[in-house]
Chains A and B, each alone.
Chain A
Amino acid sequence: MQRRSFPSLTVFLILVVAGLAACERRGGCTGENCGTIIDAAVAEPGTLLPPSSEDIVANDIDEQLFLKLADVGMSENTLGDEDFQPLLAQKWEWDGPLTLVFHLDPRARWQDGQPVTAADVEFTFNAYNDSVVASPFRPKLHRIASVTQRDSLTAVFRFRERYPEMFYDAVYHMRILPAHKLRPVPRDQWRTAPFGREPVGDGPYRFVRWQPAQSIELVADSTFFLGRPGIRRLIWRFTPNLQVAVQQAIADEADVREQLVTPENVERARAAKQLAIYTYRGNVYTFLSFNQRAPDDTTKPHPIFADREVRRALAMAVDRASMVKSALGDLAKVPPGPMSALLWIWDPDIRQLPYDTAQANRILNARGWRDHDGDGVRDKDGQPLAFHMLFPTTSVLRRQYALLLQEQFRAIGVRAEVDAVEGAVVNQRVATGKFDTAILSRSNDPSPSSGIAQSWTRAGFGGSNFGRYDNPAFERLVDRAVTTTRRDQARALWRAAMETLNADAPGIFLYALDNVAAVHKRVDNVQLRPDSWAAVLRTWRIPPDRLIDRDRVER
């Protein structure tokens, strides 16, 4: 009796739900500009207030809500200003070598109807530069001396020095904020201000609602001054991790998963008949960082990794090409230095240390690291050649790499212990120098200047140069590269800098992932800009003959 009634009840409930669904899915939007796109996001933003939001999902959403003065083009060229696309600024001109003048588009409006003015630009710069706001973008603006308004539609940027990426620095890091909305809010309360959860922007989309832990919904601004967006509604649906996000795209509950990351996910997405796969340049590289200072006292050298020759030997013991092939297939490349494929300085011909275990063994022998006690691990003065590799437990890929590295080091008599801990603990330990080695990932913005300097020069001590790599020759080359105006000369200088760094082996550069996105096949004109996939989302569209139920829904 019971066995028969339970399935009947299930069928009954399904029929009820289906019946109700049929009632709900009535008529609705049928022409152009009707689509709905659901993105399966792997995290929920803390806030949508641009100076306080550094996380990727917040940036994707802010792309739709808040405009920059101009933005990099699909070429990702950051030198000069010729490849930049106007947004809030209709045009610009140089008024002397250190002064840049922007003329705002008079059609630009905040979504509450107020015009966007040069006062907003000035207010924005001051806010980003205020230590109380604690914006992560503040260090990137240090070469801009001031921003003032000449008139209501003219903003003037003055720089401290002349360099090729002045324009990039002026426009890329800041999204213009509505002064009339934010000026009354004390800056030490910006992180908790309601504006961050119900923003009023000037972009192609308007904020509709934020359902905590569920979704954020935006709707197209049909009066947007740069043209009506092709998709009517955008929804970011929050999931707790990558696997759940990929599963939602495969199950047709989401239209976009912008990064699939692993070969298994790509295969699963390829098998889903409604999804199309797009590959674009990645902006992340992963490396094994050697800490050159002692973990218990950062004023002292590390007993193993302060020795350049030992670092070189370890780097030569790792077959990076085979590791990429076995772990990631065609989804990644071996980076020719600390860079992702996004950067224009990427050049596979940059000289790197070869994979040569015989040479690695010779170097270690020469440095006195031999297996004196026959336990299979080299030692010197009673100290074994052994260290820990730190990485976050949540990264399956880094765990896989840690095990591969462990094997390769073992082959030359080096013991590497795997040390998987929580992400927050990794952050704390690398920031305070309490590690031997760590498998870290870095994302690049399109410019090599800020990221490389911050992570690999003295400027990054106490910042993101966690391994405390320090080579004045490298820094001189970087300094020259970032101030050279000619692209070919800059490229040559960057190459020389990278070769100097590679010879010092401050880390082993393991892989640079290509980004692979899964997007619903009904979506047309899909363009994914490598540094920010959602930057030109407003140009995507869904032709009327491909609309599905969720595109037509009217509320």
Chain B
Amino acid sequence: MGAAWLLRRLLASVAIIFAVVTFVFILIHVAPGRPCPETVERAVCEELKRQFGLDRPLPEQYWRYLVALAHGNMGNSYANGRPVRAAIAGTIPFTLQLAGAALVLDFLLGLGLGIYQAVRVNRIPDVVLGNVTLFIYSLPTFWLALLLLLVFGEKLRWFPVGGASDPVLCPVVHSLFCVADRLWHTALPAATLGLVGAAGTARFQRAAMLEVARQDYVRTARAKGLPERRVVLRHQLRNALLSFVTRFGLAFPFLLTGAVLIETIFAWPGMGRLAFDAILLRDYPVVTGTALIASVVVVAGNLLADILVGLADPRLRVRAPTDVEVVTA
């Protein structure tokens, strides 16, 4: 893994992002539907389409979009007139907050459970946890969301049923109380995303730990008489973490796609909900803008995972020209 490899990956990433933007732009423009409500008169709708530039040929619209994009301009939302850049920028902190909380829960819980199961492999705790994680992993995310919402929001009233903050006490974060209020509002949506993710991570980590346990160096460590804790943490876990880093890269698409549903169910003001609403309203610039940002995040996440794997595994630090392509799922 060297500079040439990194450059190749960066160029490939740019090409992927460009392809995604092109694909989404064409798809949303040729999809049936019009960016006007049913009740708007046709003449009014035509005037609006003229103002949005939708009366021009599609290649011209695409070219204009690319030129504007090259200048950092993602256009204005048809629905509310706001610059797309500002609309997305306003939602990213919320999506990062939700995804970050979910990621922490996912990895801490998933990693812990995976290790716990691996050291008790085929015993009752492993079998029970294996079935529980499989059950949670197979649950549709929206179903778990509704269940948590009903039990902990509506019935027990331990957590808010929606929104990112209390609109009376904390419309903006101006005190420590409001930070806590934000976290309190994050609890249910993050738990929904995090629990499903943790179930997958636990299964992944258990398998990786067991795979490493069969390696000669682990057997040697045990034969040397090292304490079991040290064998597990130093030799087994350390090597099993390589696959965990790969999973880190894969978590981004899951969190972003999951966020669309979760943000809608929990009225969370993030990018997923923005994209979902924009698709329904045929708000083309916002749809394309959110697709662009999402593809950047996913590609960057995967690139970061690849770099981390390369850094963590000395066998992959091979310099060009005998460069070894790092392959991740």
Contacts and interface: CB of A to CB of B under 8 A. Distances in A.
A319 interface: no
B44 A136 contact: yes
B42 A244 contact: no
A136 B39 CA distance: 8
Interface in A34-57: 36, 38, 44-47, 54-55
Interface stretch (A118-126, A146-154, A188-196, A359-367): A188-196
B161 A47 contact: no
User: By CB atoms of chain A within 10 A, which of B40, B76, B165, B267 has the most?
Assistant: B267
Interface residues of B, number: 64
A244 B153 CA distance: 11
Given A47-B80, A253-B162, A217 B44 contact: no
Interface stretch (B28-36, B59-67, B240-248, B301-309): B28-36
B73 to A, nearest CB: 13
Contact of B169 (A2, A196, A213, A553): A553
B34 A2 contact: no
Interface in B106-162: 112, 116, 149, 153-154, 157-158, 160-162
Nearest to B46: A134
Contacts of A550: 168-169
Given A23-B177, A251-B161, A212 B168 contact: no
Nearest to B116: A2
A61 to B, nearest CB: 13
Given A188-B51, A213-B91, A213-B273, A423 B164 contact: no
Contact of A250 (B154, B167, B276): B154
A75 interface: no
A134 B49 CA distance: 10
Contacts of B37: 54-55, 427
Nearest to B175: A24
Given A193-B81, A251-B154, A213 B168 contact: no
Interface in A193-221: 193, 196-197, 209, 211-215, 217
B33 A237 contact: no
Contacts of B157: 251-252
Given A46-B81, A211-B269, A424 B33 contact: yes
Given A138-B44, A244-B265, A424-B280, A214 B163 contact: yes
A463 interface: yes
B41 A430 contact: no
A247 B161 contact: yes
A355 to B, nearest CB: 29
B296 interface: no
A197 B82 contact: yes
Given A36-B168, A134-B48, A237-B163, A428 B32 contact: yes
A474 B157 CA distance: 56
A424 B33 CA distance: 4
Interface in A214-268: 214-215, 217, 233, 235, 237-241, 244, 247-248, 250-253
A2 B112 contact: yes
A136 B41 contact: yes
A31 interface: no
A462 to B, nearest CB: 5
A142 B35 CA distance: 25
A145 B149 CA distance: 55
Interface string A88-115: 0000000000000000000000000000
User: By CB atoms of chain A within 10 A, which of B42, B87, B175, B266 has the most?
Assistant: B42
A44 B264 CA distance: 13
Contacts of A20: 176-177, 180-181
A263 B1 CA distance: 63
Contacts of B42: 431, 462-463
A385 B313 CA distance: 69
B216 interface: no
Contacts of A553: 168-169
B41 A463 contact: yes
Nearest to A421: B32
A253 B160 contact: yes
Nearest to B265: A244
B34 A431 contact: yes
B55 interface: no
B282 interface: yes
Interface in B1-36: 32-36
B282 A424 contact: yes
Nearest to A250: B154
B161 A248 contact: yes
A13 B190 CA distance: 15
A92 B250 CA distance: 69
Nearest to A132: B47
A425 interface: yes
A212 B267 contact: no
B51 A247 contact: no
Contacts of B51: 134, 188, 191
A2 B125 CA distance: 13
A213 B269 contact: yes
Contacts of B40: 54, 136
9 contacts: A54-B37, A211-B167, A212-B82, A212-B91, A215-B171, A217-B167, A247-B149, A443-B39, A464-B39
Interface of B: 32-45, 47-48, 51, 76-77, 79-82, 87, 90-91, 112, 116, 149, 153-154, 157-158, 160-165, 167-169, 171-172, 175-177, 180-181, 183-184, 264-267, 269-270, 273-274, 276-277, 280-282
Q: Which 10 A-B pairs have the closest CB atoms?
A: A424-B33, A213-B269, A192-B81, A46-B80, A20-B177, A427-B38, A134-B47, A550-B168, A191-B81, A24-B177
Given A47-B80, A248-B163, A425-B33, 14 more contacts: A54-B37, A134-B51, A135-B44, A233-B168, A240-B273, A247-B161, A250-B154, A251-B153, A252-B157, A424-B280, A431-B42, A464-B41, A550-B169, A553-B169
